[in-house]
Amino acid sequence: MRGPHNIWRLVRTGATFERTGAMGAVLEAMDAPRSIRIAARVLGWPFKWLGLRGNPATPPVPRALTALGPAYIKFGQILSTRPDVVGAEMALQLQVLQDKLPPFPRAEALRVIAHEMERPVETLFSEVSEPVAAASIAQVHRARLAHDGREVAVKILRPGIERAFRKDIDAFYLIAWVVETLSPASRRLRPRDVIAHFEGVVTQELDLRIEASACGEFHANTKDDAGFVVPQVEWFLSSRRMMTLEWVEGITLSDGGAIDGNGFDRKALAARVLQMFLRHALRDGFFHADMHHGNLKVAPNGDIVALDFGIMGRLDVYTRRVYAEILMGFIRKDYRRVAEVHFEAGYVPADRDIDEFAQALRSVGEPIFGMDASRISMARLLAYLFEVTERFGMETRTELILLQRTMVVVEGVARSLDPEINIWTVARPVVEDYIRENVGPKAAVRDLLATARVLARFGPRLPALAERALLAQANPPRAEPRNPWPERLGYGAAGLLLGVAAAALVLLL
């Protein structure tokens, strides 16, 4: 579908951005070259009257994206996680995007349920409410299970949303092609790769089985976390176009009046939100990447309830250790160690000067630690850190950018509850616990044992490998040069297995 027939969408987009005043803001934020600015004006100004007006009460860029519809809203939300593409200031503006849209009729929702479950709705639910929340991709209904009377939340995709998104994504690819064609310099930002990333995210969100799976994994990881709740998935009532979760009552964290009125401790809630995020990122490597006020509630018993699992983040074991050591190094003001961690991880090219890098890191940390508690910001630290590492040649790492963006949101939620919160004091015990368990002798033993287990899988094959190696040495082929690698592989694997096992035993004893 990508081709000239998308030109109308391209013109409509440019006209809307021009009419809402978003065009100049976007071009400025991305430091667009002259060719792009001219093309944008050509596509926008003459056709300004064709553009959508949007809500004048909202900032220009969110106003334009909201007016253009669900795909543009979702695209803006994804770009808010990519300050490396749109810049820190624009990413911050995009975080205010709300995808609250008019709901579709309840009757249509009932039709989807019957079609997806292949059963009459009344045999599944004794009650299904009118929509209680409606977003760009789906809406939520409150329902009651027919067989046991439990209350559940049923999330249902909007009718025709897949086709609508497909059309707009095609237009995005055309826009990316135009940008790359008119401005070769823009290719360093890889516009088409950004669209491909967006397409992948949306494709997952359009299959509610993926979100249900994420919710199930997150619930399993956090079921023993005191004061934090993830609803359980009702798997027998979930499919590609609908997802059913247990219903959880609560007050959204943005409702400060209700929180105070019910006697909840704001300071305790703020600390718990921040610590839980760090614990999930470090301990599990799987964290909620959209923890804004609307996705967090306070249950009647004071537990924090997480909702909406469409955007989740992952960190591998090694990245978690690096991230923890970087945070701990800043907490302890050990800038040399922070620099060493970056070099050890390969984040900064080995030909750079480590002492100069440590000095640059000090320029990041010291001003922040000199602030009073109410102004100390881990999110600001990470933003400054990325600026410094970029100057020293560190390549963009998407998982760390998503982590930083989520940290900004979580910190904002925490400060809205407790403006005087000391981020470092709250974060320190979580980071120290992780480092104690994962960056020390215990971790070394676990790593050795894990390596031994992997090598042990090849144990039954080691005698045959060694025998073939010995036979190859005793009877080398005459027609071709002898290949030493089977011999080396056999002896090397056996030696490595024995060495790892011995080291693990020594450490354990």
Task: Indicate if 334 belongs to the active site.
Answer: no
Tokens of 257: 């009046």
Among 380, 364, 290, CA closest to 329: 364
Name 157's bridge partners.
138
Query: Do the bridges between strand 228-229 and strand 138-145 make them parallel or antiparallel, or are there none, so unpaired?
Result: unpaired
Count of alpha carbons within 13 Å of 59, Cβ hemisphere only?
A: 16
**Distance from chain centroid for Cα 333:** 28
Which bin fits 61, alpha (ψ -120 to 50), beta or left (φ > 0)?
Answer: alpha
Spell out the alpha helix ranges (H) of 309-422: 317-331, 335-345, 354-369, 378-391, 398-417
The catalytic position among 168, 290, 308, 418 is 290
Report phi then psi at 308, rounded to 5: 65, 100
The amino acid at residue 333 is K
CA separation for the pair 121, 98 (Å, rounded):
31
Spell out the alpha helix ranges (H) of 206-298: 208-222, 256-261, 266-279
Judge contact between 170 and 2, C-beta under 8 A.
yes
- Which residue pairs, CB below 8 angstroms and at least 24 apart, start in 79-82? 79/194, 80/405, 81/289, 81/311, 81/401, 81/402, 81/405, 81/406, 82/194, 82/401, 82/405
Sheet holding 151-157, edge to edge: 125-134, 138-145, 151-157, 242-246
Tell me, what DSSP letter sits at residue 95? Answer: T
Q: Reduced to 3 DSSP states, what percent helix, strand and coil does the chain have, rounded to the nearest 5?
A: 65, 10, 25
| Active site residue ranges | 290
